[in-house]
């Protein structure tokens, strides 16, 4: 059975696509999917598009059409947690939709029909992904170092928030994070797709894990740094982490 590697943007998968063996291109639901072999594993590479609805559609196609065994999301995010710096890597343990609010009918951030605010990732797959990140950081030496980074990149594990907004203002980032933290949800990073994929995978009882490279601090510099960071840093992170993950996965 195949492992789906899902990303939002082409730059996040350029290295993986170049390494794909026996690649076959398929188009379904307006999206391009690449099936083939990567480091000895059957994989499907796909781009989710940007935003929760696009990501949910793509995840559903991967499950219904391609019958994948698991979905791994690799991409970038804005850091909002204390000590989460540009160049660090966050492995999601669970997700929250920061723009979901059906209060007072339900608790803020809770998706109706689901238990609690948080949407969990698969613990076993997440542990393998965390090990892959740790191994990459140990073995990479200075490979990941870049002018964007003030220090060597670090691994963080915890809560990631998703919503249909690209955060480019420190005030907005604080307004997003502070109520979550006050309610006991110490969010580390913010992006636009992962919670939707986590929700779909919960519906289908499918294993899901996600890793996000911190491209910015979700402030006024985000739109300036983002394209260059994607090209020079994020694609290298994705390629090395996914390689290590697949080498450690059982076929």
Tokens in use for 74?
């690799």
- Given its phi and psi angles, is residue 248 left (phi above 0), alpha (psi -120 to 50 degrees) or beta? alpha
Confirm if 112 and 121 have CB atoms less than 8 A apart.
Answer: no
216 included as an active-site residue: yes
122 included as an active-site residue: no
Q: Distance (Å, rounded) from C-alpha 32 to C-alpha 207?
A: 22
DSSP 118-161: -EEPPHHHHHHHHHHHHHHHHH-TTTT--TT-SS---EEEEEEE
Q: Distance (Å, rounded) from C-alpha 192 to C-alpha 13?
A: 17
Q: Distance (Å, rounded) from C-alpha 207 to C-alpha 220?
A: 35
Q: Of the residues 94, 122, 216, 219, which is catalytic?
A: 216
DSSP lists the bridge partners of residue 189 as 79, 160
Q: Of the residues 12, 94, 191, 244, which is catalytic?
A: 12
- Given its phi and psi angles, is residue 156 left (phi above 0), alpha (psi -120 to 50 degrees) or beta? beta
The 3-state DSSP class for residue 109 equals coil
Apex 54 CA angle, 53 and 60, nearest 5: 90
Q: Distance (Å, rounded) from C-alpha 70 to C-alpha 207?
A: 5
Active-site residue list: 12, 216
């Amino acid at each position: 059975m195949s492992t789906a590697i899902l990303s939002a943007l082409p730059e996040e998968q350029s290295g993986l696509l170049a390494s794909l063996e026996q690649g076959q291109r398929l188009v379904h639901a307006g999206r391009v999917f690449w099936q083939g072999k990567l480091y000895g594993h059957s994989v499907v590479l796909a781009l989710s598009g940007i935003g929760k609805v696009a990501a949910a559609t793509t995840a559903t196609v991967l499950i219904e059409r391609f019958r994948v065994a698991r979905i791994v999301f690799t991409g970038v995010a804005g850091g909002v947690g204390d000590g989460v710096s540009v160049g660090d890597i966050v492995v999601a343990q669970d997700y929250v939709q920061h723009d979901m609010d059906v209060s007072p009918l339900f608790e803020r951030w809770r998706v109706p029909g689901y238990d609690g605010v948080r949407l969990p990732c698969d613990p076993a797959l997440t542990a393998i992904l965390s090990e892959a990140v740790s191994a990459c950081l140990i073995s990479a030496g200075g490979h990941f170092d870049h002018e964007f980074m003030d220090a060597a990149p670090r691994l963080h594990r915890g809560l990631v928030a998703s919503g249909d907004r690209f955060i480019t203002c420190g005030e907005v980032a604080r307004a997003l994070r502070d109520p979550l933290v006050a309610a006991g949800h110490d969010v580390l990073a913010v992006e636009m797709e992962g919670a939707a994929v986590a929700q779909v995978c919960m519906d289908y009882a499918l294993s899901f894990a996600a890793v996000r490279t911190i491209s910015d601090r979700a402030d006024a510099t985000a739109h300036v740094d983002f394209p260059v960071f994607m090209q020079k840093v994020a694609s290298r992170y994705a390629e090395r982490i996914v390689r290590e993950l697949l080498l450690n996965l059982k076929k």
